Chains A and B, each alone.
Chain A
Amino acid sequence: NAGVTQTPKFRVLKTGQSMTLLCAQDMNHEYMYWYRQDPGMGLRLIHYSVGEGTTAKGEVPDGYNVSRLKKQNFLLGLESAAPSQTSVYFCASSYGRDREFVDQPQHFGDGTRLSIL
């Protein structure tokens, strides 16, 4: 009963390096999300997707790119990592259809702790 799985769990990067965070869900959810969590700021939405092949910007999209080539996977990329991107990243998914269903809880992965030196 995996739910939402994020890899890796921890990563340390040097400024300017690139990397991709992987999120996989096995609940057949249409909607997927990437958040970052910083002290005192709660969860802020980076990008989200309402279905395979679609992505949209959230509140803090700058410096990140995403792709949703398969329904079950949602990738978050950092092209040139900066110390300001040091954070805990959470992926989530929820049931949805036709851009509706705003009453569904989002289900979260365990997070990825990313440090950029």
Chain B
Amino acid sequence: AQKVTQAQTEISVVEKEDVTLDCVYETRDTTYYLFWYKQPPSGELVFLIRRNSFDEQNEISGRYSWNFQKSTSSFNFTITASQVVDSAVYFCALSEAAGNTGNQFYFGTGTSLTVIP
């Protein structure tokens, strides 16, 4: 079973629209960590944010915000007033504490975001 599900394969929005990327995870651990990464067309993977399972406070960084809800096992990512430079593939990842030798991640399959000018 997939531990991290990103159901949206591809999303297209017009510049300046808001967009939310969904991430649903599955774990039995009480301690775990969630991450978002950005992969622009140039191909590198860029770390965006980490959230631990004990901190449900939403995070805002400029135009980016993250909504963590344990009740629905979701860690969604919203981009406000999208820009062309936001066009990328975005990955959500899970790291579980129990039995995790080596800080192994489970990655979702990614959401490809295209922002149309």
Which residues of A are in contact with B by a Cβ distance under 8 Å? 31, 33, 40-45, 48-50, 56, 58, 88, 90, 92, 94, 96, 99, 101-111
Contact of B101 among A50, A92, A107, A110 (CB under 8 A): A50
Using a CB–CB cutoff of 8 Å, the interface residues on chain B facing chain A are 9, 32-33, 35, 37, 42-45, 47, 50, 52, 91, 95-97, 100-105, 107-110
B103 A94 Cβ-Cβ under 8 A: yes
Question: Are A106's CB and B102's CB within 8 A?
Answer: no
Interchain CA distance A92-B105 in the complex, whole Å: 11
10 A-B pairs within 8 Å (CB atoms) are namely: A33-B102, A40-B9, A50-B102, A58-B104, A96-B103, A101-B103, A102-B97, A102-B100, A108-B37, A111-B44
In the assembled complex, which residues on chain A have CB atoms less than 8 Å from the CB atom of B37? 108
A105 and B107 within 8 A (CB)? no
Q: Which residues of A contact B50 (CB under 8 A)?
A: 103, 105
User: Which residues of B have CB within 8 Å of A43?
Assistant: 91, 105, 107
